[in-house]
Amino acid sequence: MVVVSGRAHQTGAARLAARAGLRIGAGVVRILCPPDAAPVIAPAIEAVMLTPFGSADALGREVETADAVVIGPAAGLDDATVLNLQAVALSGAVLVIDADALTMFKDRSAELFALLDRDDVLTPHEGEFERLFPGLLAQGRDTAALEAARRAQAVVVLKGAETIIASPDGRIRKNPNGSPWLATAGSGDVLAGMIGGLIAQRMSSFDAASAAVWLHSETAAVFGPGLISEDLPETLPKVLRALWIQNLPQ
Protein backbone atom coordinates (compact mmCIF):
# COMPACT_ATOMS: atom_id res chain seq x y z
CA MET A 1 0.00 0.00 0.00
CA VAL A 2 1.18 3.51 -0.85
CA VAL A 3 0.12 6.85 0.65
CA VAL A 4 0.89 10.09 -1.19
CA SER A 5 1.89 12.90 1.16
CA GLY A 6 1.58 16.64 0.79
CA ARG A 7 4.44 19.09 1.24
CA ALA A 8 6.51 19.61 4.39
CA HIS A 9 3.78 21.43 6.34
CA GLN A 10 1.12 18.91 5.27
CA THR A 11 2.47 15.51 6.30
CA GLY A 12 0.36 14.52 9.31
CA ALA A 13 -2.59 13.20 7.31
CA ALA A 14 -0.41 10.89 5.23
CA ARG A 15 1.28 9.55 8.34
CA LEU A 16 -2.11 8.83 9.92
CA ALA A 17 -3.31 7.01 6.81
CA ALA A 18 -0.10 5.02 6.53
CA ARG A 19 -0.17 3.96 10.18
CA ALA A 20 -3.78 2.87 9.84
CA GLY A 21 -2.99 0.80 6.75
CA LEU A 22 -0.15 -0.91 8.57
CA ARG A 23 -2.26 -1.62 11.66
CA ILE A 24 -5.10 -3.15 9.67
CA GLY A 25 -2.74 -5.64 8.08
CA ALA A 26 -1.13 -4.27 4.92
CA GLY A 27 2.21 -6.04 4.88
CA VAL A 28 4.25 -3.13 3.49
CA VAL A 29 3.24 0.52 3.60
CA ARG A 30 5.18 3.28 1.93
CA ILE A 31 4.73 7.04 1.97
CA LEU A 32 5.67 8.85 -1.22
CA CYS A 33 6.35 12.53 -0.63
CA PRO A 34 7.75 15.70 -2.22
CA PRO A 35 11.46 16.08 -1.40
CA ASP A 36 10.91 18.90 1.11
CA ALA A 37 8.63 16.67 3.18
CA ALA A 38 11.09 13.80 3.61
CA PRO A 39 13.07 15.38 6.51
CA VAL A 40 9.79 16.01 8.33
CA ILE A 41 8.34 12.54 7.84
CA ALA A 42 11.46 10.43 8.33
CA PRO A 43 11.91 11.06 12.09
CA ALA A 44 8.20 10.38 12.69
CA ILE A 45 7.93 6.88 11.18
CA GLU A 46 9.48 3.50 11.85
CA ALA A 47 7.83 0.53 10.14
CA VAL A 48 6.45 2.72 7.35
CA MET A 49 8.83 3.17 4.41
CA LEU A 50 9.53 6.53 2.78
CA THR A 51 10.41 7.52 -0.78
CA PRO A 52 10.61 11.10 -2.11
CA PHE A 53 9.43 11.90 -5.64
CA GLY A 54 10.33 14.95 -7.67
CA SER A 55 7.53 15.05 -10.24
CA ALA A 56 4.18 13.52 -11.13
CA ASP A 57 5.91 11.28 -13.67
CA ALA A 58 8.31 10.04 -10.99
CA LEU A 59 5.36 9.38 -8.67
CA GLY A 60 3.68 7.36 -11.40
CA ARG A 61 6.77 5.19 -11.74
CA GLU A 62 6.96 4.62 -7.99
CA VAL A 63 3.41 3.26 -7.76
CA GLU A 64 3.62 0.87 -10.73
CA THR A 65 3.74 -2.20 -8.46
CA ALA A 66 1.40 -0.91 -5.71
CA ASP A 67 -1.83 -2.74 -4.86
CA ALA A 68 -3.57 0.31 -3.40
CA VAL A 69 -2.81 4.03 -3.37
CA VAL A 70 -4.32 6.50 -0.89
CA ILE A 71 -4.22 10.04 -2.26
CA GLY A 72 -5.80 13.27 -1.09
CA PRO A 73 -5.37 13.64 2.69
CA ALA A 74 -3.63 17.04 3.06
CA ALA A 75 -2.30 16.60 -0.48
CA GLY A 76 -2.62 20.31 -1.18
CA LEU A 77 -5.23 22.39 -2.96
CA ASP A 78 -3.18 23.05 -6.07
CA ASP A 79 -2.58 21.64 -9.54
CA ALA A 80 0.16 19.34 -8.25
CA THR A 81 -2.53 17.22 -6.59
CA VAL A 82 -4.41 16.89 -9.89
CA LEU A 83 -1.24 15.92 -11.75
CA ASN A 84 -0.32 13.42 -9.04
CA LEU A 85 -3.76 11.82 -9.18
CA GLN A 86 -3.58 11.59 -12.97
CA ALA A 87 -0.21 9.88 -12.65
CA VAL A 88 -1.27 7.27 -10.10
CA ALA A 89 -4.49 6.57 -12.04
CA LEU A 90 -2.35 5.16 -14.86
CA SER A 91 -0.70 2.63 -12.55
CA GLY A 92 -3.49 0.07 -12.32
CA ALA A 93 -3.47 0.28 -8.52
CA VAL A 94 -6.79 0.64 -6.72
CA LEU A 95 -7.19 4.28 -5.68
CA VAL A 96 -8.67 5.55 -2.42
CA ILE A 97 -9.37 9.23 -3.09
CA ASP A 98 -10.10 11.60 -0.24
CA ALA A 99 -10.06 15.22 0.92
CA ASP A 100 -7.99 17.59 -1.25
CA ALA A 101 -7.97 15.20 -4.21
CA LEU A 102 -11.79 15.42 -4.22
CA THR A 103 -12.04 19.15 -3.60
CA MET A 104 -9.70 19.95 -6.50
CA PHE A 105 -12.33 18.61 -8.91
CA LYS A 106 -15.12 20.95 -7.83
CA ASP A 107 -17.03 22.03 -10.97
CA ARG A 108 -14.94 19.59 -13.04
CA SER A 109 -16.07 16.24 -11.71
CA ALA A 110 -16.17 14.66 -15.19
CA GLU A 111 -12.36 14.97 -15.29
CA LEU A 112 -12.11 12.98 -12.07
CA PHE A 113 -14.58 10.32 -13.17
CA ALA A 114 -12.64 9.79 -16.40
CA LEU A 115 -9.66 8.69 -14.30
CA LEU A 116 -11.55 6.08 -12.28
CA ASP A 117 -12.48 2.46 -12.62
CA ARG A 118 -15.02 0.39 -10.70
CA ASP A 119 -12.51 -0.71 -8.04
CA ASP A 120 -11.59 2.83 -7.00
CA VAL A 121 -13.07 4.41 -3.87
CA LEU A 122 -14.17 7.99 -3.22
CA THR A 123 -14.53 8.95 0.46
CA PRO A 124 -16.28 12.33 0.69
CA HIS A 125 -17.94 13.93 3.67
CA GLU A 126 -21.10 15.83 2.76
CA GLY A 127 -19.26 19.06 1.88
CA GLU A 128 -16.91 17.29 -0.52
CA PHE A 129 -19.82 15.27 -1.90
CA GLU A 130 -21.71 18.47 -2.72
CA ARG A 131 -18.69 19.83 -4.61
CA LEU A 132 -18.59 16.75 -6.85
CA PHE A 133 -22.34 16.07 -7.06
CA PRO A 134 -24.06 19.44 -6.59
CA GLY A 135 -27.71 19.19 -5.56
CA LEU A 136 -27.73 15.40 -5.35
CA LEU A 137 -28.08 15.27 -1.55
CA ALA A 138 -31.52 16.87 -1.86
CA GLN A 139 -32.74 13.44 -3.03
CA GLY A 140 -31.74 11.86 0.30
CA ARG A 141 -28.45 10.29 1.31
CA ASP A 142 -29.23 6.75 0.10
CA THR A 143 -30.36 7.83 -3.35
CA ALA A 144 -27.54 10.36 -3.59
CA ALA A 145 -24.84 7.82 -2.74
CA LEU A 146 -26.17 5.28 -5.25
CA GLU A 147 -26.46 7.85 -8.01
CA ALA A 148 -22.97 9.18 -7.23
CA ALA A 149 -21.50 5.68 -7.51
CA ARG A 150 -23.30 5.22 -10.83
CA ARG A 151 -22.03 8.52 -12.21
CA ALA A 152 -18.46 8.04 -10.99
CA GLN A 153 -18.44 4.31 -11.79
CA ALA A 154 -16.59 3.81 -8.51
CA VAL A 155 -17.37 2.93 -4.91
CA VAL A 156 -18.60 5.94 -2.93
CA VAL A 157 -18.30 6.23 0.86
CA LEU A 158 -20.59 9.06 1.94
CA LYS A 159 -19.34 9.81 5.44
CA GLY A 160 -21.55 11.01 8.27
CA ALA A 161 -23.30 9.87 11.44
CA GLU A 162 -24.64 6.97 9.36
CA THR A 163 -22.00 6.41 6.70
CA ILE A 164 -23.28 4.94 3.43
CA ILE A 165 -21.22 2.76 1.11
CA ALA A 166 -22.51 2.51 -2.46
CA SER A 167 -21.25 0.47 -5.39
CA PRO A 168 -21.71 1.24 -9.10
CA ASP A 169 -23.47 -2.11 -9.45
CA GLY A 170 -26.30 -0.88 -7.20
CA ARG A 171 -25.28 -2.42 -3.88
CA ILE A 172 -25.60 -0.23 -0.81
CA ARG A 173 -24.70 -0.64 2.86
CA LYS A 174 -25.39 1.62 5.83
CA ASN A 175 -23.05 1.58 8.77
CA PRO A 176 -25.09 1.05 11.96
CA ASN A 177 -22.47 1.87 14.59
CA GLY A 178 -21.48 5.48 13.93
CA SER A 179 -19.60 7.05 16.84
CA PRO A 180 -19.67 10.69 18.01
CA TRP A 181 -16.04 10.35 19.06
CA LEU A 182 -15.05 10.39 15.38
CA ALA A 183 -15.84 14.10 15.10
CA THR A 184 -12.16 14.94 15.39
CA ALA A 185 -9.60 16.18 12.88
CA GLY A 186 -7.78 13.43 11.03
CA SER A 187 -10.25 10.60 11.60
CA GLY A 188 -11.12 10.57 7.90
CA ASP A 189 -7.45 10.19 7.01
CA VAL A 190 -7.31 7.12 9.23
CA LEU A 191 -10.39 5.68 7.51
CA ALA A 192 -8.83 6.18 4.08
CA GLY A 193 -5.74 4.30 5.25
CA MET A 194 -7.84 1.48 6.66
CA ILE A 195 -9.72 1.06 3.38
CA GLY A 196 -6.45 1.06 1.46
CA GLY A 197 -4.93 -1.46 3.85
CA LEU A 198 -7.78 -3.92 3.36
CA ILE A 199 -7.73 -3.50 -0.43
CA ALA A 200 -3.98 -4.19 -0.36
CA GLN A 201 -4.89 -7.57 1.16
CA ARG A 202 -7.04 -8.38 -1.88
CA MET A 203 -10.40 -7.57 -0.33
CA SER A 204 -12.87 -6.19 -2.86
CA SER A 205 -13.23 -2.42 -2.73
CA PHE A 206 -16.90 -2.47 -1.69
CA ASP A 207 -16.25 -4.98 1.09
CA ALA A 208 -13.05 -3.21 2.16
CA ALA A 209 -14.86 0.10 2.45
CA SER A 210 -17.75 -1.51 4.36
CA ALA A 211 -15.47 -3.35 6.78
CA ALA A 212 -13.19 -0.36 7.34
CA VAL A 213 -16.10 1.96 8.10
CA TRP A 214 -17.46 -0.48 10.69
CA LEU A 215 -14.04 -1.08 12.26
CA HIS A 216 -13.35 2.66 12.31
CA SER A 217 -16.52 3.32 14.32
CA GLU A 218 -16.04 0.30 16.57
CA THR A 219 -12.49 1.40 17.38
CA ALA A 220 -13.74 4.85 18.32
CA ALA A 221 -16.37 3.32 20.59
CA VAL A 222 -13.79 1.12 22.29
CA PHE A 223 -11.56 4.11 23.03
CA GLY A 224 -14.42 6.43 23.99
CA PRO A 225 -14.28 10.06 25.16
CA GLY A 226 -11.09 12.00 24.57
CA LEU A 227 -10.33 10.21 21.30
CA ILE A 228 -8.01 11.93 18.85
CA SER A 229 -7.19 10.55 15.44
CA GLU A 230 -3.78 9.24 16.52
CA ASP A 231 -5.55 6.91 18.97
CA LEU A 232 -7.43 5.07 16.24
CA PRO A 233 -4.54 3.05 14.72
CA GLU A 234 -3.23 2.22 18.19
CA THR A 235 -6.64 1.00 19.45
CA LEU A 236 -7.51 -0.92 16.29
CA PRO A 237 -5.54 -4.08 17.30
CA LYS A 238 -7.83 -4.50 20.34
CA VAL A 239 -10.86 -4.54 18.06
CA LEU A 240 -9.24 -6.91 15.57
CA ARG A 241 -8.17 -9.24 18.38
CA ALA A 242 -11.67 -9.33 19.83
CA LEU A 243 -13.09 -10.28 16.42
CA TRP A 244 -10.41 -12.94 15.98
CA ILE A 245 -11.18 -14.50 19.37
CA GLN A 246 -14.92 -14.49 18.63
CA ASN A 247 -14.30 -16.45 15.43
CA LEU A 248 -11.90 -19.07 16.82
CA PRO A 249 -13.19 -22.66 16.55
CA GLN A 250 -14.87 -23.73 19.77
pLDDT at 250: 75
pLDDT at 136: 98
pLDDT at 174: 97
Residue 96 β-bridge partners:
70, 121
Total of domains in the chain? 1
Per-residue pLDDT tens, the chain, 250 aa: give them.
Answer: 999 999 999 999 999 999 999 999 999 999 999 999 999 999 999 999 999 999 999 999 999 999 999 999 999 999 999 999 999 999 999 999 999 999 999 999 999 999 999 999 999 999 999 999 999 999 999 999 999 999 999 999 999 999 999 999 999 999 999 999 999 999 999 999 999 999 999 999 999 999 999 999 999 999 999 999 999 999 999 999 999 999 998 7
Overall pTM > 0.95? yes
Instruction: List the beta strands (DSSP E) in the chain.
Output: 2-4, 30-33, 49-52, 68-71, 94-97, 121-122, 155-158, 164-166, 172-174
pLDDT at 113: 98
Please tell me the distance from the alpha carbon of residue 191 to that of residue 193, in angstroms, as a whole number: 5
The percent of the chain in helix, strand and coil, each rounded to the nearest 5, is 50, 10, 40
Domain coverage including residue 115: 2-246
* DSSP per-residue string spanning 128-144: HHHHHSTTGGGG-HHHH
CATH number at residue 214: 3.40.1190.20
Intra-chain end-to-end CA distance of the chain, in Å: 34
Within 8 A by CB and 6+ apart from 140, the residues are: none
